[in-house]
Structure 1
Amino acid sequence: MRDAWRSVHRGAARIDAGTPAERDRAVDALRALAVLGVVLGHWLVTALVADGGTLHADSPLRHLPVLAPICWAFQTLAVFFLVGGHVASRGLVAARARGTTYRRWLAARMSRLFKPVAAVIALWSVTAACAAFAGVEFMTVRTLVKLALSPLWFLVVFAALTAATPLLNRLTPLWPLAVVIHVDLVRFGLGGPSWLGWVNVVAGWMVPYTLGAAWSRGELDRLRAGWALFIGGAVATAVLVAWAGYPASMVGVPGASVSNLNPPSLAVVTFGLAQCGLALLSCGALRRAMCRPTAWAAVALVNLYAMTIFLWHQTALMVTTAVLLPGGPLPGLHTSPDGWVWIAGRLAWLPLFALALTLCWTAFRHVEQGVRRRSSASGPPVEFGSSRVVRVHRAPSRDTAEGGRRA
């Protein structure tokens, strides 16, 4: 055991020593926390209930609405878009400085986003076809495929905003925020059509993305902007939930008449602003924490396989549920999420979900790594081989340079 720990520490030291000195490790830490927050959030609120030979989706938030504030910690999409806007804006500037055209830069980023998706779609297409031929209930197949492919909506929106980075670099976050406000005013306050809310799918996530772009340009004072966003966003969210009729849950709840997330509402956008403010405020502490080689190595590895983790975490949950289904309805796995017994059971199943995700990672990590090697010219977040570190240099933003000096 002692030799194993020594090996881990030696590997972490190599990763730490091979990381460029100008790299802002806090940004990578925020990305890792955002990805893991989404994964853990889905594992906590996604229930597959066995009912008469079929599986249907449910959520403990539908039966225990008191849990909604607890789940706020795991709805971290705004932080991911904040980091995405920051990294894309900075990366585009660095690519242009190297003489890389926008088309090549965008093609490399789209390749890293969507090529790993092909493996997920291929596997679930085959699985769905085999299940249908085997006589599995259509509702069960539909539920499983929908859950497996549900993370893809996020990638489509993220890809669209990434492609629009040159335009969004010139846009203040107040413009998309104004669009969200007006859309919700029309559809909720004036009785407008419900389909109008889908405008917020782009406008809502454009708010944190453009905040990230402004951060990369050095236009945000990290402390002043952080406190303003955190306090302003938290107060606005509390007002919207308490007096404007918005749901307290910041994730989708099956059967709910109004969803804050599908499509995004003003409440989830203001909640995201509070999260972005907290992310900016935490950068100093994260930089200090990332000075520890083991902590930085863990964050770096999550970033290296972020797409694999994100794309396969729902599959890991469903594989665990299906494999154990013949053993009978198990609390926290196959039963209705309508009580605290289910919550306790679900917490106990989390390590098994993690093990299943590890198996998925082992099987499909090469897809993401192959894409990263082929697109290294565009400057991925950081590249770690099995025993080496590829140094990726970028022009640091003002906040990055100041953070590096502070660290």
Structure 2
Amino acid sequence: MNRDRAVDALRAYAIGGVVLGHWLVTGLVLTGDGGLHQASPLTALPGLAPMTWVLQTLGLFFFTAGFGSARSLARHPDGTGRWLAGRLRRLLLPAVALLGVGAAVLLAATVVGTSDDTLAVALRLAVSPLWFLVPLVFLVAATGPLRAAVRRWGVARCVVPGVVMVAAADLAVRLLPAATDLPPVTVLAAWSVPYLLGVAHADARLAGRRAGGTLVAGGTVALAALLALGYPVSAVGVPGAGVSNLNPPSLLAVALAVVQVGLGLLARPALERLLARPLPGRAVTEVNRFAFRIYLSHQPILVGVTALTARGGLALPGLHTAPDDPGWVLARLCWLPVLAAALVTVVRTGQPRVRRRPGGGGVAGRSAECVPPAPQVYDHRRSGPPDLQEVIAVRDSDPPSRGRADGQPR
């Protein structure tokens, strides 16, 4: 099986951006009655807003999703229905499993007397990352027609309808304040833009430094113009702010996605050289291997660590205190290794281990026929379409040594 190492690296960066972004902008403050309520450092520290441009990586998620879906579909030209069923199954089943486990944990937390405020925060943070499934399912289902459209009309013409729809929604929100209460109809339109860029890249219709430079230049000009027009600086929502760039996604979110994709294309040669080294290559492989578990588990990990340490009644800086000064940010940075260690422990729990006999003679206690095939070696120089995952998910139900990542995802 061939894998595109550079795209894998972009996916790993996107996952890291989401995890760090959520852990850095989500404050859980310990109240007098022992409960937790949510707060954001962006409210008291607006100077941190530019950092969200680095950590809000949803555009790269959908770009890698489009790339992976298009490449995978190319391997199943005569079985589109079966391909789509398998793709959606690998998207939805892990999410259903998360909801089941989350429901059991919340029930146990209720039995032991956890406060209602803490339960509400835990439920909201655990479920909120699943919003991506709605636009992603539609885009994955439409991969075939989108791929045909890009081949017929080119990617530039194909992204225009999405951009126009998002622009119209932005204008309506600014002219009609009541429009902010309407359903976020532009979610699909906005994220179709990076998804289409991924489809075009998979089809070799968007590659090279010229394409990357064009995307970066165009997206940067658009970002500057939108900021001059009064768009919020933060790429994510800020509690109390009247308008958000992310809920629903605005033109600024689309422009940021275009810039990130362009930078990813420009960085491809450097990424390929970097991933030729053992340590970075192994790190990217591991992140992609456990991608969906990381995505689904990182918010529950934050709540779990915060709630468990709060049971002593002591408010720990950066974990239980209000995120209203730079000291909170420094303290939260010190907690990141603890959160990361807990996340690694959770995502690796339950993974089957291959035990080999001394001298490499198979697996102890089992016949050679039961040994899963060895992981496939990445090699971007080989020809043939790689079987890539969508957004951030791998097929967690598969033994990790199968080297297969079909499924995909704030």
For residues 259 and 365 of structure 1, what CA distance do their matches in structure 2 show? Answer: 39
Shift of 1:229: 1.2
* Residue of structure 2 aligned with 1:353, choices 327, 339, 345: 339
For residues 391 and 320 of structure 1, what CA distance do their matches in structure 2 show? Answer: 32
Aligned to 2:59: 78
- Tell me the SS of whatever aligns to 2:184: helix
Q: In 1, are the aligned partners of 2:3 and 2:387 still within 8 Å (CA)?
A: no
- 1:166-223 CA distance string (max 9 Å, x none): 1222151122112111221222246562245611111111110011111122222421
Q: Percent identity?
A: 44
Aligned to 1:281: 266
* Residue of structure 1 aligned with 2:74, choices 77, 80, 93: 93
Aligned to 1:268: 253
- 1:93-121 CA distance string (max 9 Å, x none): 1211xx4x112111211222222223321
* Residue of structure 1 aligned with 2:40, choices 29, 43, 59: 59
Shift of 1:132: 3.3
- Tell me the SS of whatever aligns to 2:185: helix
Cα separation, partners in 2 of 1:365 and 1:109, compared to 1, 3 Å: farther
- Tell me the SS of whatever aligns to 1:56: strand
Which protein has the bigger helix share? 1
Matched, 1:140 2:118: yes
Shift of 1:135: 4.0
Aligned to 2:292: 307
For residues 339 and 227 of structure 1, what CA distance do their matches in structure 2 show? Answer: 38
For residues 73 and 388 of structure 1, what CA distance do their matches in structure 2 show? Answer: 32
For residues 291 and 7 of structure 2, what CA distance do their matches in structure 1 show? Answer: 14
Aligned to 1:244: 229
Q: In 2, are the aligned partners of 1:331 and 1:342 still within 8 Å (CA)?
A: yes
- Tell me the SS of whatever aligns to 2:75: helix
Unaligned 5+ runs, structure 1: 1-19, 367-371, 394-407
For residues 391 and 205 of structure 1, what CA distance do their matches in structure 2 show? Answer: 26
Q: For residue 54 of structure 2, what is the amino acid of its counterpart? A: A
Range with greater deviation from structure 2 (187-196 or 290-299): 187-196
Q: For residue 161 of structure 2, what is the amino acid of its counterpart? A: W
* Residue of structure 2 aligned with 1:235, choices 221, 234, 257: 221
Aligned to 2:199: 213
Q: For residue 131 of structure 1, what is the amino acid of its counterpart? A: A
Matched, 1:158 2:136: yes
For residues 3 and 299 of structure 2, what CA distance do their matches in structure 1 show? Answer: 32
- 1:2-59 CA distance string (max 9 Å, x none): xxxxxxxxxxxxxxxxxx5x53211111111111111111111111111122211111
Q: In 2, are the aligned partners of 1:187 and 1:197 still within 8 Å (CA)?
A: no
Q: In 1, are the aligned partners of 2:351 and 2:399 still within 8 Å (CA)?
A: no
- Tell me the SS of whatever aligns to 2:24: helix
Aligned to 1:253: 238
Unaligned 5+ runs, structure 2: 151-157, 353-371, 377-385
Q: For residue 129 of structure 1, what is the amino acid of its counterpart? A: L
**TM-score (norm. length: structure 2):** 0.82
- 1:281-301 CA distance string (max 9 Å, x none): 111111111112332222111
Q: For residue 26 of structure 1, what is the amino acid of its counterpart? A: A
For residues 265 and 342 of structure 1, what CA distance do their matches in structure 2 show? Answer: 30
